[in-house]
Amino acid sequence: MIFFSWIALVALSLGVSLLAFLWAIRAGQFSDPGRARFLPLSDSRRSPALEKPAGLPVEIYVLLGIAGIALVGILFSIVLSIFRV
């Protein structure tokens, strides 16, 4: 019975990791892996100044959501371990 909480935590973590990996593939994060080794050699020292966005970027909300899901999973496993459900 105790192992179900850990299995749920592992399954939840695996699902979140898989979703993050699929997002990275769709966003083109792995489209040109050979370019990264030449970035330190580029002449562009500074990029042009960007305007500050009005609110928090979407990435912050996604990271907070992932952290919240992980926290709920950990708390769920702790509660199940304590009460031995």
Per-residue pLDDT reduced to its tens digit, 54-69: 776 788 888 989 999 9
Q: Measure the CA dihedral 35/40/41/42, to 10°.
A: 80
Rounded distance between C-alpha atoms, residue 29 and residue 48, angstroms: 22
pLDDT of residue 60: 84
pTM of the entire structure?
0.43
- One digit per residue, pLDDT tens: the chain, 85 residues? 667 777 888 888 899 999 999 888 888 777 777 777 776 776 666 666 666 667 767 888 889 899 999 898 888 888 888 887 5
Q: For the chain, which residues make up each domain, given as ranges? A: 56-85
Q: What is the 3-state secondary structure (H, E, C) of 14-63?
A: HHHHHHHHHHHHHCCCCCCHHHHHHHHHCCCCCCCCCCCCCCCCHHHHHH
